[in-house]
Amino acid sequence: MNPDDESSKFYHAEEEVDFAEKQTPQTPQTRHPAYKLAFQDQDFLLREELRPVRFQLELLKPQLLLDEAGVGSTLVMYGSARIPPPDAVEKALEGAKDLPEGDRKVVERLAEKARYYGEAYKLARMVSEKSIVEQGKRQFVITSGGGPSIMEAANKGASDAGAESIGLNIVLPHEQAPNPYVTPYLSFQFHYFALRKMHFLLRAKAVAVFPGGFGTFDEFFELLTLIQTGKMKPMPILLFGKDFWTRVINWDAFVEEGTISARDIELFTWVETAEEAWDHIARFYDIER
């Protein structure tokens, strides 16, 4: 039964809430938490036993809102939260001059990666400007983790193209907030990493992976695993920065040790520029470039 159907014989939940708030007499019984409607009782919803329900809610809320927003597919962009934007490089290098050599080199290496902020921005803007629509739904909607650096570049590129974009933020012990370029009604916050990662991939039609840390590796390797094991259909996976990735991961050693097959390396494509990335996506889906 459609709850919005005017012929429904039952009151909607919001109407029941209104009845409860306006018509319930104030007595010891009605003031006790046990009397609260279950779906309005936060203490009840946060109980350990209700975790499966919270999982379902966290899966369902973004799914429904993205459906209502007409999002058909996404271009997901992973990458570090620490790479500075190009206009912050000079200040970062200046501030690192008096640091111990090891710390200074870290800042210099991060500064060298600032060009990937530019490539993430260009890719997001380029794809967003194409405004691809199929079967009435928007395709390749830019999606990031909603944070700073590479994620910010992705959402900013879409915003500057006049397009909406998605941000999938996660609650962490330290302070954080969505970057200002995420479309507000497509800005989601997650408690469970598992559900967040699922939403990254549920609508993904392509994934661009930029240099990053544990979070980027986690997301990237889970994607590879899903495709390698046949749990997910192949899609373009664009790996930006061959020098970085071959420095931090010995791909050949994986093959030589026999823990992956040589063909598994073909699950992703090396790229350095936004143009290369889009060219591969367009060829994969036979889209006019």
pLDDT value of residue 5:
59
The structural domains of the chain, ordered by start, are 70-285 (3.40.50.450)
State the average pLDDT over residues 283-289.
89
State the average pLDDT over residues 212-220.
96
- Position 111 pLDDT exceeds 70: yes
The model's confidence at residue 226, banded by pLDDT at 50, 70 and 90, is: very high
Q: What is the Cα–Cα distance from 116 to 69, expressed in whole angstroms? A: 29
- Position 4 pLDDT exceeds 70: no
Sequence-distant (≥ 6) Cβ neighbours of residue 95 within 8 angstroms: 107
- Position 6 pLDDT exceeds 70: no
- Position 8 pLDDT exceeds 80: no
Bridge partners of 192, per DSSP, are none
- Position 229 pLDDT exceeds 80: yes
Of the listed ranges 39-48, 162-171, 187-196, 223-232, the one predicted with least confidence: 39-48
pLDDT value of residue 11:
81
- Higher per-residue confidence, 229 vs 13: 229
- Position 48 pLDDT exceeds 50: yes
Q: Above pLDDT 70, what percent of the chain?
A: 97
* CA-based nearest residue to 199, from 134, 144, 131: 144
The rounded mean pLDDT for the chain is 93
- Higher per-residue confidence, 68 vs 39: 68
Pairing state between β 133-134 and 137-138: antiparallel
**Local structure of 160: helix, strand or coil:** helix
Q: Which residues of 40-51 are buried (b: 16+ CB within 10 A; e: fewer)?
A: eeeebeeeeeee
Q: What is the Cα–Cα distance from 157 to 9, expressed in whole angstroms? A: 48
pLDDT value of residue 1:
44
Residue with tokens 């030589």: 256
Q: What burial class does residue 66 get, using C-beta atoms within 10 Å of its C-beta: 0-12 exposed, 13-18 middle, 19+ buried?
A: buried
